[in-house]
């Protein structure tokens, strides 16, 4: 019903930048919060940043001042601008969205398939 597709991952040297994008499509009535999470090998998935429908943002302490989340509500897209990347930022990054598929439907969480970000030292 709802698909989230991430793009923009890749290999970058420490100190470099990447911009991730995530487009939501399908049976969408409205989108509440959107966010980015990441999972490094052998670790649990963790929150990176979230943004509400009113563009209120939250960030993990580890990325504050380096990453910026934004969204385009007309395109159902969320972005993650990542600067001053560090090797410890290496992970699979997942997009998340809280979506209502109809006016009468409860919001449900949807996930993208993930995009790999690798930061070399």
Spell out the SS3 assignment of 28-83. CCEEEEEEEEEECCCCCCEEEEEECCCCCEEECHHHCCCEEEEEECCCCEEEEEEC
Bridge partner residues of 5 (DSSP): 23
For 29-46, the pLDDT digits (tens) are 999 999 999 999 999 999
Q: pLDDT (tens digit, 0 to 9) for every residue of the chain, 121 residues total?
A: 899 999 999 999 999 999 999 999 999 999 999 999 999 999 999 999 999 999 999 999 999 999 999 999 999 999 999 999 999 999 999 999 999 999 999 999 999 999 999 999 9
Is the CB of residue 60 less than 8 Å from the CB of residue 38? no
């Amino acid at each position: 019903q709802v698909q989230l597709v991430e793009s923009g991952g890749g290999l970058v040297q420490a100190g470099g930048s990447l911009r991730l994008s995530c487009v939501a499509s399908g049976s969408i009535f409205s989108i509440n919060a959107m966010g980015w999470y990441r999972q490094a090998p052998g670790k649990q998935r963790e929150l990176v940043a979230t943004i509400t429908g009113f563009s209120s943002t939250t960030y993990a302490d580890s990325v504050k001042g380096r990453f910026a989340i934004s969204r385009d509500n007309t395109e159902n897209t969320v972005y993650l601008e990542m600067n001053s990347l560090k090797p410890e930022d290496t992970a699979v990054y997942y997009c998340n969205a809280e979506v209502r598929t109809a006016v009468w439907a409860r919001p449900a969480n949807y996930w993208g398939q993930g995009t790999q970000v690798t930061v070399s030292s």
